[in-house]
């Protein structure tokens, strides 16, 4: 691994054994990307990779007889107005009304390790030898401003992280109208764009589309979150790339607010990828001495298909993004009371549910919404973080101790960023909500967004919730967020600073997370946003797991968890066994399938076990015992391979394989049953072809070598699928190394 600077040609080569990234300082002092892809050997000059030609309608940015044109150059961080007519990464409004800038190379620094981007979350190094960083300083003399582009190359991963920072030194103020985190360009357009899109209860469906000339993009402009509609992730793959073969580039933004992820193909087939904070509503003024730091983008290159890309993201985010005591730790098996009781509960009812959970082997009981203020429905009480003593006469402190005396840990649901107008908090501070004076304030789920761009609001919420936590025995907090921002305006900001409001809101969220996680480091935080509307890498920096979706139907979860796995590790996916008929779809799926789906995540239950039959309770106990045995493999140590896509057929399948390839757990799911159907072969991946495995599925046990299991496959017994329920049936396979 290394970062080499060839001084004569002013070329930087970032490389490790899997990937190379080459940058050149051009004759006009700006930066050009010469290559990004599979690792290539270093050489003194890569100048031959620069191509320039005079074309009709070309604007040339150097004196004659030069032919350098920004329109046909693969720029590192493009701006608008000097001959490049594609979308820029940066736009700066100056006091004379101009947006023309010229950032040219001044200096660079290469060092071991990686700097923090605090207060922004970012990937980090556990020791300085894991990675090395290049910082390139560019300067615009007219506005007297520095632009610092940072690149971190990891030694063991085909990963490069990118971010940009503006440092203003000029006397006159400037305004950032657009400050994206990164740009990278490819010479051709022979790609398919992969993104994760959907809506509430069907988040992160896999979408693929062939690139064509023009702009293709996904975005989130919801203020409080990236949103359930589109995830801050995209990948570019070659048309022949599969899960196991071919070339793919992944781009993942470590940010929780408004974002833009865009590809633009020029009419000369060049492809530009841009990613960062969405410029809509963004207007950031810098005075002399002030700076602005963009969020980080994590770029992953794979020449072994989408599975390899995902495995890199999974390892990196487990080891170098998640933090604290729960980093790389198996998660406790929990039971959440929400779908069991909703708002209608008493302490006696809660304790009866917890007692039954303990009997099944569950380790953590979580009390969901309805424990505070006048919260008997979702019309009132939100924001009043004191206990409803009519429901819980001994408070959260008393209840948590009673649950712990049963031998369970105790967890609590909160929604700290929101308020009902029917609440003591709103009546005391009506100006604390996001909204424009004298304009109608749109509502969602009967609630409004607290203005977390204001420090006094964050301080108030912190004091209220930390008091509850200090007085109680809380091991887990589920942090929910149930609406997007509308009428984005802060009564605490001046008119000229309203363009800072939505980014400052997200910084306020990060501030509250930081305070709580630092004061209570032993607590496991799970983020939630009406399910998965805020499933992004930045949240994993604070809360190492996220409620994947409010849709708990096992069949629908196949699509949701499959898509989520493109960028996020299994240990980050909140996944529970819920009651049937399912509360979202009214669908009935077998109890075995509900567990077989939930195993590939954090695993827990979302129901009242008291309502199950003795036979079902016996199954639950077996499920809990299975997860305790295999959760370290599934959640922490194993490599995850997607095998069959629910978006392309009736079956879904995947497998988790241990690093030494001696152990694996695979699952096969069918959606609808078929009559008089053809044969099925289940082909595995990731095994050692020369290892003999003992394969167990229900009561069936046999032996086969890895090559047979991967190339010939496992004959799937359709009669066994029928016994498991037919429609929505599933099979679970456990593989252990056997002696020949």
**pLDDT, tens only, 213-267:** 999 999 999 999 999 999 999 999 999 999 999 999 999 999 999 999 999 999 9
Backbone angles phi, psi at 355, to 5 degrees: -60, -45
Residue 581 reports pLDDT greater than 80: yes
CA separation (Å) from 318 to 321, 331, 721? Answer: 6, 13, 35
Q: Following CA atoms 139, 140, 143, 145 in sequence, which dihedral angle do they give, to the nearest 10 degrees?
A: -20
Residue with the two structure tokens 């599933």 = 730
Residue 572: closest CA among 549, 540, 616: 540
Active site residue 480: yes
What average pLDDT does this structure show over 17-44?
A: 97
Percentage of residues of the chain with pLDDT beyond 70: 100
Q: What's the rounded Cα separation, in Å, for the pair 204 and 206?
A: 6
Asked if residue 572 has pLDDT above 80, the reply is yes
Residue 53, pLDDT > 90, answer: no
Span 354-365, pLDDT tens digits = 999 999 999 999
> Cα–Cα distances in Å, from 730 out to 530, 604, 614, 615?
28, 18, 22, 19
**Which of 480, 551, 553, 639 is the catalytic position?**
480
Specify whether the CB–CB gap between 581 and 567 falls below 8 A: no
| Secondary structure of residue 645 in the 3-state scheme | coil
Tell me the two tokens of residue 505.
């809101």
pLDDT at 693: 98
Average pLDDT over residues 391-410: 98
Identify the pLDDT of residue 138. 98
What pLDDT does residue 6 have? 97
Phi, psi of 476 (to 5 degrees): -150, 140
Q: Encoding tokens for residue 499?
A: 């363009």
Model confidence over 418-443: pLDDT tens digits?
999 999 999 999 999 999 999 999 99
8 A C-beta contact, residue 273 and residue 251: yes
Half-sphere exposure of 555 (CA within 13 A, CB side): 22
The bridge status of strand 409-414 relative to strand 364-367 is parallel
Structure tokens at 219: 């975005």
**How confident is the model over 159-210, as pLDDT tens digits?**
999 999 999 999 999 999 999 999 999 999 999 999 999 999 999 999 999 9
The mean per-residue pLDDT over the stretch 261-275 comes to 97
Q: Is 690 a catalytic residue?
A: no
In the predicted model, what is the mean pLDDT of the chain? Answer: 97
The DSSP code sequence of 389-453 is TTT-TTHHHHHHHHHHHTT-EEEEEE-TTEE-SBSHHHHH-GGGBS--TTS----BTTBEEB-TT
Candidates 698, 635, 687; CA nearest to 664 is: 687
Res 58: pLDDT: 87
pLDDT of residue 51 exceeding 90, the answer is no
Euclidean distance between CA atoms 223 and 258, whole angstroms = 6
Catalytic, out of 303, 550, 551, 608: 550
pLDDT tens for 288-324 read 999 999 999 999 999 999 999 999 999 999 999 999 9
Q: What is the pLDDT of residues 79-116, one digit of tens each?
A: 999 999 999 999 999 999 999 999 999 999 999 999 99
Q: Are 680 and 728 in contact, with CB atoms under 8 Å apart?
A: no
Q: At residue 135, does pLDDT exceed 90?
A: yes
Q: Residue 61 CB: number of other CB atoms within 10 A?
A: 20
- Rounded CA-CA distance 339/606 in Å is 6
Grade residue 20 by pLDDT with cuts at 50, 70 and 90.
very high
What number of other Cβ atoms are within 10 A of residue 621's Cβ? 14
Q: Answer whether 0.95 is exceeded by the pTM.
A: yes
CA distances from 536 to 158, 187, 293, 559 (A): 20, 30, 19, 18
Closest of 258, 289, 97 to residue 179, by C-alpha: 258
% of the chain surpassing 90 pLDDT: 97
Q: Is 697 helix (H, G, I), strand (E, B) or coil?
A: strand
pLDDT of residue 1: 74
Q: Report pLDDT for 199.
A: 98
Residue 54: the pLDDT is: 83
Contacts 24+ apart (CB under 8 A), 94-99: 94/143, 94/172, 94/174, 94/175, 95/172, 95/173, 95/174, 99/177
Q: Please report the pLDDT score of residue 691 as a whole number.
A: 98
Number of H helices, E strands in the chain: 13, 40
């Amino acid at each position: 691994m290394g970062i080499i600077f060839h001084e004569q040609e002013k070329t930087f080569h970032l490389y490790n054994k899997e990937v190379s990234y080459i940058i050149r300082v051009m004759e006009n002092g700006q930066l050009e990307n010469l290559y990004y892809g599979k690792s290539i050997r270093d050489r003194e000059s890569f100048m031959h990779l620069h191509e320039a030609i005079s074309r009709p309608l070309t604007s040339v940015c150097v004196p004659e007889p030069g032919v350098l044109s920004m329109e046909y150059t693969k720029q590192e961080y493009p701006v608008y107005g000097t001959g490049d007519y594609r979308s820029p990464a940066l736009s700066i409004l100056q006091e004379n009304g101009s947006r023309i800038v010229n950032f040219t190379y001044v200096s660079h620094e290469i060092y071991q390790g990686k700097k923090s981007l605090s207060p922004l979350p970012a990937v980090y190094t556990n020791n300085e030898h894991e990675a090395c960083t290049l910082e390139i300083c560019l300067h615009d003399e007219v506005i007297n401003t520095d632009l610092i582009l940072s690149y971190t190359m990891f030694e063991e991963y085909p990963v490069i992280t990118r971010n940009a920072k503006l440092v203003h030194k000029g006397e006159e103020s400037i305004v950032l109208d657009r400050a994206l985190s990164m740009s990278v360009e490819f010479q051709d357009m022979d790609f398919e764009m992969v993104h994760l899109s959907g809506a509430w209860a069907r988040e992160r469906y896999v979408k693929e589309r062939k690139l064509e000339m023009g702009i293709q993009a996904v975005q989130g402009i919801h203020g409080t979150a990236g949103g359930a509609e589109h995830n801050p992730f995209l990948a570019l793959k070659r048309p022949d790339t599969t899960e196991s073969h071919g070339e793919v580039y992944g781009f993942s933004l470590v940010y929780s607010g408004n974002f833009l992820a865009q590809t633009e193909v020029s009419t000369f087939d060049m492809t530009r990828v841009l990613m960062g904070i969405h410029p809509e509503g963004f207007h950031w003024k810098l005075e002399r001495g002030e700076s602005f730091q963009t969020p980080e983008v994590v770029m992953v290159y794979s020449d072994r298909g989408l599975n390899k890309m995902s495995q890199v993201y999974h390892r990196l985010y487990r080891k170098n993004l998640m933090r604290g005591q729960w980093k790389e730790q198996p998660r406790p098996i929990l039971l959440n009371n929400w779908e069991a009781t909703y708002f209608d509960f008493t302490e006696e009812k809660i304790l009866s549910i917890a007692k039954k959970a303990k009997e099944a082997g569950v380790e953590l009981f979580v009390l969901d919404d309805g424990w505070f203020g006048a919260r008997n429905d979702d019309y009132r009480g939100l924001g009043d973080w004191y206990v409803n003593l009519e429901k819980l006469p001994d408070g959260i402190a008393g209840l948590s101790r009673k649950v712990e005396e049963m031998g369970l840990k105790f967890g609590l649901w909160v929604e700290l960023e929101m308020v009902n107008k029917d609440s003591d908090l709103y009546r005391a501070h009506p100006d604390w909500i996001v909204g424009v004076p004298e304009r109608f304030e749109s509502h969602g789920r009967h609630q409004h967004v607290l203005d977390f761009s204001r420090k006094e609001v964050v301080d108030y919420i912190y004091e209220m919730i930390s008091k509850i936590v200090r007085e109680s025995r809380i091991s887990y907090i589920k942090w929910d967020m149930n609406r997007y921002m509308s009428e984005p305006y802060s009564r605490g900001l001046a008119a000229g600073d309203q363009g800072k409001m939505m980014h400052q809101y997200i910084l306020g969220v990060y501030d509250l997370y930081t305070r709580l996680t630092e004061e209570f480091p032993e607590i496991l935080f799970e983020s939630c946003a009406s399910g998965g509307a805020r499933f992004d890498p930045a949240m994993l920096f604070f809360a190492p797991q996220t409620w994947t979706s409010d849709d708990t139907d096992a069949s629908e979860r196949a699509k949701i968890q499959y898509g989520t796995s493109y960028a996020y590790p299994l240990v980050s996916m909140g996944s529970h066994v819920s009651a049937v008929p399912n509360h979202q779809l009214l669908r009935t799926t077998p109890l075995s399938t509900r567990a077989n789906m939930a195993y590939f995540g954090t695993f827990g239950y979302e129901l009242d076990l008291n309502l199950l039959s003795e036979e079902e309770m016996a199954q639950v106990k077996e499920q809990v015992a299975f997860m305790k045995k295999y959760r370290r493999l599934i959640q922490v140590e194993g490599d995850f391979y997607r095998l069959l896509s629910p978006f392309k057929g009736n079956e879904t399948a995947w497998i988790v394989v241990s690093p030494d390839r001696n152990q694996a757990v695979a699952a096969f799911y069918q959606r609808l049953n078929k009559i008089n159907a053809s044969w099925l072969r289940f082909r595995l991946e990731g095994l050692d072809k020369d290892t003999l495995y003992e394969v167990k599925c229900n009561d069936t046990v046999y032996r086969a070598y890895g090559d047979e299991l991967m190339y010939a496959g496992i004959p799937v017994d359709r009669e066994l699928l029928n016994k498991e329920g037919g429609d929505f049936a599933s099979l679970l396979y456990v593989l252990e190394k056997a002696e020949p």
